């Protein structure tokens, strides 16, 4: 498996999100909206990586297509993965736990981080 993480202009995301992952065969592509702060970009990247791997290795697998279908049909939600109806809710929640720990370790104020995301 090759893993590629890239920062993109927010308008270049596939849909309204700041972090996106998709498996393309065995390879994983993660795109992160540019927040203008490398630590914040890293937080999103780690969240997406953990979420994607937890989905991939879940039994049965939670596929890119399943996640995309849910996300794209629930764009009215700020964070579709927080919905208990999301097929990847548990994986999203676990990735968020790590993301919050990392924000503390990197000395990123969580409220400021969320505000920066909302501004996009």
In whole angstroms, what is the distance from residue 113 CA to residue 103 CA?
Answer: 9
Q: Is residue 39 part of a domain?
A: yes
| Residue 82 confidence (pLDDT) | 96
Kindly report, residue by residue over 18-57, the tens digit of the pLDDT.
999 999 999 999 999 999 999 999 999 999 999 999 999 9
Could you tell me the residue range of the domain that residue 108 belongs to?
Answer: 35-119
Q: Is residue 70 part of a domain?
A: yes
Q: Is residue 74 part of a domain?
A: yes
| Residue 39 confidence (pLDDT) | 98
What is the percent of the chain with per-residue pLDDT over 90, rounded to a whole number? 94
What is the DSSP secondary structure assignment for residue 107, as one 8-state letter? T
Q: Is residue 53 part of a domain?
A: yes
| Residue 75 confidence (pLDDT) | 87
Q: Are 62 and 114 in contact (CB under 8 A)?
A: no
Kindly report, residue by residue over 76-86, the tens digit of the pLDDT.
898 999 999 99
Q: pLDDT band at residue 70, thresholds of 50, 70 and 90?
A: very high
| Residue 78 confidence (pLDDT) | 87
Q: Is residue 93 part of a domain?
A: yes
The listed range with the strongest mean pLDDT (6-10, 71-75, 77-81, 116-120) is 6-10
Q: Is residue 4 part of a domain?
A: no
Task: List the one residue out of 73, 26, 74, 72 whose CA is nearest residue 52.
Answer: 26
What is the DSSP secondary structure assignment for residue 22, as one 8-state letter? E
Q: Is residue 58 part of a domain?
A: yes
What is the percent of the chain with per-residue pLDDT over 70, rounded to a whole number? 100
In the predicted structure, residue 10 carries a pLDDT above the cut 90: yes
Residues 6+ apart with CB under 8 A from 81: 51, 71, 88, 89, 91, 92, 93, 96
Phi, psi of 32 (to 5 degrees): -120, 130
Paired sense of beta strands 3-8 and 19-24, if any: unpaired
Residues 6+ apart with CB under 8 A from 58: 91
Q: Is residue 23 part of a domain?
A: no
> How many domains are there within the chain?
1
């Amino acid at each position: 498996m090759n893993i590629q993480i890239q920062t993109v202009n927010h308008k270049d995301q596939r849909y309204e999100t700041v972090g996106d992952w998709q498996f393309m065969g065995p390879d994983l592509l993660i795109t992160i909206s540019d927040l203008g702060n490398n630590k914040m970009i890293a937080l999103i990247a780690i969240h997406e990586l953990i979420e994607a791997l937890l989905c991939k290795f879940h039994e049965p697998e939670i596929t890119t297509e399943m996640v995309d279908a849910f996300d794209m049909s629930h764009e009215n939600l700020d964070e579709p993965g927080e919905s208990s109806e999301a097929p990847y809710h548990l994986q999203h929640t676990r990735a968020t736990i790590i993301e919050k720990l990392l924000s503390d370790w990197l000395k990123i104020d969580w409220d400021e981080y969320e505000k920066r995301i909302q501004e996009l």
